Amino acid sequence: MSGLVDRLDRVVRGVVVMLFAALVGLVALQVGLRYLLGTSIHWEEEAARYLMIWITFLTSGVGLRLGAHVAVDFVKDGAPRVLRVPLLMLIKLGILLFLGIVAGYGTWVTLSVRNQISPALEISMAIPYAAVPVGCSVMVIYTLELLWKDVRALAAKE
């Protein structure tokens, strides 16, 4: 399982790097045009916003996999050693439930807005909204991997 998730992680990180490079390039171009030539690109702000949304949702998954999100360590650390892994598993199941709800609702909203067109870029609003179900799906995969590691750790203790 880890090999597939590692490949997914490489793809996600590569996409994030490309999106971030596009974001930096667009913003730098916009600043340069505005201050050097006194003009601007009418669609840059909207494109930058949509790029930032995608970057946020994709990097949230990477952060989850690395354990970089804010955690309530005092709950885990305060629990008896025997209960720590089961408690972490329970927390991950709660995370999966939350992500499933957000992904489902995000999919519904994405499909609902697929015929709406963004004002500046003139693209379907489903493109920026799709960041929610895609990002949550990536986080579900990463959480399942972490849960599997907890199951194996618990089984190794027995």
> Tens digit of pLDDT for each residue in 27-52?
999 999 999 999 999 999 999 999 99
- Can you give the pLDDT at residue 51? 98
Distance of CA 37 to the CA centre of its chain: 37
- Can you give the pLDDT at residue 85? 85
Cβ distance 109 to 100 under 8 Å? Answer: no
State yes or no: pLDDT of 148 exceeds 80: yes
Q: What is the pLDDT of residues 10-24, one digit of tens each?
A: 999 999 999 999 999
User: Using 50, 70 and 90 to split pLDDT, how confident is the model at 110?
Assistant: very high
- Can you give the pLDDT at residue 71? 72
Give pairs for 123-130: CB < 8 Å, separation 24+. Answer: 127/50, 128/49, 128/50, 128/53, 128/54
Stretch 153-157: mean pLDDT, rounded? 82
CA distances from 141 to 52, 57, 146 (A): 22, 14, 9
- Can you give the pLDDT at residue 84? 84
Who has greater pLDDT, 4 or 82?
A: 4
3-state percent breakdown (helix, strand, coil) of the chain, nearest 5 = 80, 0, 20
